[in-house]
Amino acid sequence: MGDAEAAAVAARAAAVWARDAGRGPGHRGLFDGGLAGTLVGLRQCAVLHPALHPVADRLRDRLLDHPARPSAGGAEPPGRPRGAPERYGAVTFPDYDLILGPSGVLLALTADGHEARGTAGEAEYGPAACAAYLSSAARLAALCDGAELPGLRAHYPAHPVLGWLHGRINTGMGHGVAGVTAALTAAVRQVGPRPELASALRNTSRWLMKESFDDARDIRTWTGCGLDGQARPPGAHARQAWCYGTPGVSWALWDAADALGDPVGAAWAAAAFHTLADGYHEGFHLFGDHPGDRLGLCHGAAGVLAVADAMRRHGRLPAAAALRERLLRHFVAQEDELWSLAGERCGLLGGAGGALAAVLTATGGNRGWLSCAGLR
């Protein structure tokens, strides 16, 4: 397919998507049909269809004018006063995370302020919108104002799926401290290291470093939630992906340290990523019953590729460049499985859309969508 034909296909696909945009569940989040994700999509599509910029502007203003309520998109946890944020052990994912919560909204708004319009990092918001953005960032930072992050302890009593997390702190990029760290880092890059943002970012970074351990493959890594003083789990930690484990967490730590001008923290995070590159094994770390698990952005090869490419580009790490090349070769070898995935799922996190986006970006394509994954 030539460049002109590819551009025409992309323009048609963007138009089809835009016609249905905004018909999802209506929550504010970045994924699962949320408004923040729709904003990012509209702004990306507006590169091909400039008439979508005013639509995106209105949606951006709506996100800024209506701050997130606690437990947006879900019921208040039992025992919490309705409408009141709880800092000590009663948050659920929509209160803070990247997928459904304010971390994802901040990432979408931060990217929308400059990258899609090409304004060299200068936000286009007016004074009122800037104040709303700062208020959103400050609310997220307030959940991280203690060194042990009590504000991020989850409230999922007797939950059939998330009960394992009740009373604990998630470490991951999608639903945990790494994602909050990525959002706070983006805010610091946007508005500067304001004291409350910088303090919260140092708290999340130090907590993540403290909760790390070396697994049986000598990879510096993390479990799905903090250890809470317990011994490290035995054996090798198979889930090494964007969502959980070393790729996403080490990137979040490196980028935070870079934004704060902390060379010691950046070196620590780079060393953690280096252990992943040295110990990574496609046959062990890429697992699951579905191609989306093995190839997708969330659990699979695409997420590791996207992180390795970001580390190579911004951290100048030779180990990241080598891992990037390995994963690009892996996608060539898995072309048939990728086509199979495309016939079933095309979403960003678990479908062929995210896998193809990661491959195209790593080989010189558009980087504007990376904000959706807390990358750049």
The SS3 assignment for 213 reads strand
Is 281 annotated to bind a ligand? Reply is no
pTM for the model stands at: 0.91
What are the residues whose beta carbons fall under 8 Å from the beta carbon of 323, sequence distance 6 or more? 276, 277, 280, 304, 308
Q: Which pLDDT tens digit goes with each residue over 254-301?
A: 999 999 999 999 999 999 999 999 999 999 999 999 999 999 999 999
Query: CA torsion angle for 171, 24, 19, 2 (degrees, to 10)?
Result: 30
CA distance 181 to 177: 6
Q: What is the pLDDT of residue 16?
A: 87
CA distance 357 to 302: 8
- Could you tell me if 279 and 287 are in contact, meaning their C-beta atoms sit under 8 angstroms apart? no
* Secondary-structure percent of the chain, ordered helix, strand, coil, rounded to 5: 55, 0, 40
CA 235 to chain centroid, in Å, comes to 27
CA 29 to chain centroid, in Å, comes to 12
Q: What is the pLDDT of residue 332?
A: 97
Which residue's entry shows tokens 């304010």?
102
pLDDT averages per 10-residue partition of the chain, 376 residues: 78 87 82 93 93 94 72 40 50 96 95 51 64 92 96 94 96 98 97 96 98 98 96 95 98 98 98 98 97 98 98 98 98 97 95 97 94 96
Is 130 annotated to bind a ligand? Reply is no
CA distance 37 to 30: 4
Q: What is the pLDDT of residue 17?
A: 86
Q: What is the pLDDT of residue 82?
A: 43
Q: What is the pLDDT of residue 194?
A: 96
Is 299 annotated to bind a ligand? Reply is yes
For 276, the token pair is 């992943």
| Domain parsing of the chain, residue ranges | 90-111+125-232
